[in-house]
């Protein structure tokens, strides 16, 4: 496994039923272990579709996806042990407490007993949520819910963490805690796959960036390479140069 790329994608296509154009239109890329990879693009570009296929939540139409040399057709259970997923939509039960939610999710990963208890308590404290462990999620702010959603994705200490717009609609404090944590997790060896439409955030966080528009990757490289290649001073400007549109149009 150590000899493999973290992720290899070739000629990936996804066509949703009843849709005339593919949401993901023949993309190929490789992600090396230890990368913080950012998939950036405007709303509707295909980010959620790509990341959902990479983490096994959505079926591809054609092409190949391998995770540390494994594929979802033959090695789904093995892959599940390697990855953590933080979806764009918050996936926690509002009427349960933070602790109850995380215990439930931990059990799904096969964690239990004292080990799980300690893991939950460690994560809650990392995200500055220990004081609300026994409060129901429905009383949390948006940023606190996002942090719980993130903890749910890291309970099993994944080698690859997928996050779909993890900082959307969060307060500055939560955003900083999340970004700081992603850097720390990465420095401990995890590969991070992250989508965003926030160019500035990605520019600072990511070691490699792919820009997607209309289901195609239109440019990729390290943030510095990308900016140099297109003589742009930031990624917002680069996107405008490549597409003639602003990112938020």
Residues 6+ apart with CB under 8 A from 166: 86, 146, 149, 150, 178, 182, 194
With CB under 6 A as the contact rule, the residue among 19, 134, 187, 224 that binds ligand ADP is 19
Query: Based on the number of CB atoms within 10 Å of its own CB, is 231 exposed (0-12), middle (13-18) or buried (19 or more)?
Result: exposed
Instruction: Return the closest-CA partner of residue 37 out of 29, 49, 45.
Output: 29
Residue 201 to residue 126: CA distance in whole angstroms:
21
Q: Per rule CB under 6 A, is residue 44 in the interface with ligand ADP? A: yes
Main-chain phi, psi angles of 213, to 5 degrees? -150, 130
Which range touches ligand ADP (CB under 6 A), out of 4-12, 36-44, 95-103, 110-118? 36-44
**Is residue 196 near ligand ADP by the rule CB under 6 A?**
no
Which H helix or E strand runs over 235? helix 235-243
Q: Enumerate the H helices of 12-112 as residue ranges.
A: 47-54, 72-82, 98-108
Minimum CB separation from ligand ADP for residue 216, in Å? 12
- 187-206: contacts with Mg ion (CB under 5 A): none
CA-to-CA distance for 92 and 135, rounded, in angstroms?
13
Least distance from ligand ADP to the Cβ atom of residue 203, Å = 18
CA 249 from centre of chain? 23
C-beta of 41 vs 153, nearer to ligand ADP: 41
- Exactly one of 12, 36, 38, 48 binds Mg ion (CB under 5 A); that residue is 48
Q: Among 45, 144, 151, 199, which residue sits at the site for ligand ADP (rule: CB under 6 A)?
A: 45
Stretch near Mg ion under the rule CB under 5 A, chosen from 48-56, 126-134, 181-189, 206-214: 48-56
- Asked if 22 touches ligand ADP (CB under 6 A), the answer is no
Among 48, 126, 156, 219, interactor with ligand ADP by CB under 6 A: 48
Which chain residues interact with ligand ADP by CB under 6 A? 16, 19, 23, 41, 43-49
């Amino acid at each position: 496994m150590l000899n493999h790329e973290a992720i290899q994608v070739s000629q990936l296509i996804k066509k949703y039923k009843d849709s005339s154009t593919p949401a993901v239109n023949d993309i190929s890329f490789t992600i090396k272990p230890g990368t913080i990879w950012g998939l950036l693009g405007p709303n509707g570009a295909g980010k959620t579709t790509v990341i959902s296929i990479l983490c096994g939540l959505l079926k591809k139409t054609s092409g190949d996806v391998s995770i540390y040399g494994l594929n979802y057709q033959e090695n789904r259970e093995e892959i599940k042990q390697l990855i953590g997923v933080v979806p764009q939509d918050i996936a926690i039960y509002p009427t349960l407490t933070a602790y109850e939610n995380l215990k439930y999710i931990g059990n799904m990963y096969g964690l239990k007993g004292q080990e799980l208890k300690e893991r939950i308590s460690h994560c809650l404290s990392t995200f500055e949520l220990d004081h609300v462990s026994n409060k129901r999620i429905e009383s949390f702010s948006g940023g606190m819910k996002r942090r719980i959603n993130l903890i749910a994705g890291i309970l099993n200490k994944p080698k690859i963490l997928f996050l779909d717009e993890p900082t959307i609609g969060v307060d500055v404090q939560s955003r900083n805690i999340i970004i700081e944590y992603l850097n720390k997790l990465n420095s401990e060896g995890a590969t991070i796959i992250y989508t965003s439409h926030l160019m500035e955030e990605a520019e600072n966080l990511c070691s490699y960036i792919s820009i997607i528009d209309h289901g195609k990757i239109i440019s990729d490289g390290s943030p510095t390479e990308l900016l140099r290649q297109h003589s742009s001073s930031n990624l917002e400007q680069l996107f405008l140069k490549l597409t003639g549109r602003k990112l938020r149009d």
